[in-house]
Chains A and B, each alone.
Chain A
Amino acid sequence: MKPAPFDYLAPVTVEEACAALAEAGGGATLLAGGQTLLPLLNLRMSQPFIVIDLNRVAALKGISRGQACTRIGAMTRQCEAIASAELARALPVLVKAVKHVGHHQTRNRGTVGGSIALGEPAAELPATAVALDAIIEIVSVRGKRETAAGEFYLGPYMTTLEPDELVTAIRFPDWPQGHITLFREVAQRPGDFALVGLVGALVVEDGKVARAGLAWFGMGPTPIRARSAERMLLGQPLEAIEANAVAERAVADTAPFDDHHASAEYRRTVGARIFARTLREAFPAKEAA
Chain B
Amino acid sequence: MSEHRISMTINGLRHVSNAEARVSLSDFLRGNAGCTGVHIGCEHGVCGACTVIVDGLAVRGCLMLAVQAEGAEVTTVEGLAAGDGTLHPVQQALYDEFALQCGFCTPGVVMTLAALTAPGSKANEQQLLAAMSGHICRCTGYQGIRRAAKKLAAAPAGEQP
Question: For A106, what are the chain B residues with a Cβ–Cβ distance below 8 Å?
Answer: 45, 59-60, 63, 134
Q: Are A34 and B131 in contact (CB under 8 A)?
A: no
Cβ contacts A32-60/B at 8 Å (1 or 0 each): 00110011011100000001010100000
From the candidates A2, A3, A6, A108, name the one contacting B57 in the complex (CB within 8 A): A108
Q: Are A38 and B22 in contact (CB under 8 A)?
A: no
From the candidates B21, B22, B48, B63, name the one contacting A34 in the complex (CB within 8 A): B63
Any chain B CB within 8 A of the CB of A66?
no
Given contacts A55-B68, A103-B133, A103-B134, contact A5 B1 (CB under 8 A): yes
Any chain A CB within 8 A of the CB of B86?
no
A39 to B58, CA, bound (A): 18
Question: For B91, what are the chain A residues with a Cβ–Cβ distance below 8 Å?
Answer: none
Q: Are A2 and B60 in contact (CB under 8 A)?
A: no
Q: Are B43 and A34 in contact (CB under 8 A)?
A: no
Any chain B CB within 8 A of the CB of A138?
no
Does more than half of chain A's interface fall in helix, strand or loop, or is it mixed? loop
From the candidates B2, B27, B58, name the one contacting A104 in the complex (CB within 8 A): B58
Q: Are B62 and A8 in contact (CB under 8 A)?
A: no
Any chain A CB within 8 A of the CB of B51?
yes
A42 to B48, CA, bound (A): 15
Given contacts A104-B131, A105-B112, contact A8 B21 (CB under 8 A): yes
Taking the nearest CB of chain B, how far is it from the CB of A33, in angstroms? 8
Any chain A CB within 8 A of the CB of B5?
no
Chain A residues with a Cβ closer than 8 Å to the other chain, count: 31
Any chain B CB within 8 A of the CB of A109?
yes
From the candidates A31, A43, A108, name the one contacting B44 in the complex (CB within 8 A): A43
From the candidates B21, B116, B127, B134, name the one contacting A51 in the complex (CB within 8 A): B21
A189 to B135, CA, bound (A): 12
Chain B residues in the interface with A (C-beta under 8 A): 1-2, 4, 20-24, 27, 43-45, 48, 51, 57-60, 62-65, 67-68, 112, 116, 127, 130-131, 133-134
Chain A residues in the interface with B (C-beta under 8 A): 1-8, 10, 31, 34-35, 38-39, 41-43, 51, 53, 55, 79, 102-106, 108-109, 189-191
Excluding A2-B22, A104-B127, 18 further A-B contacts by CB distance (< 8 Å) are A2-B43, A7-B21, A8-B21, A8-B65, A10-B68, A31-B68, A34-B65, A35-B45, A38-B65, A42-B24, A43-B44, A53-B65, A102-B45, A104-B58, A105-B112, A106-B45, A108-B58, A109-B64
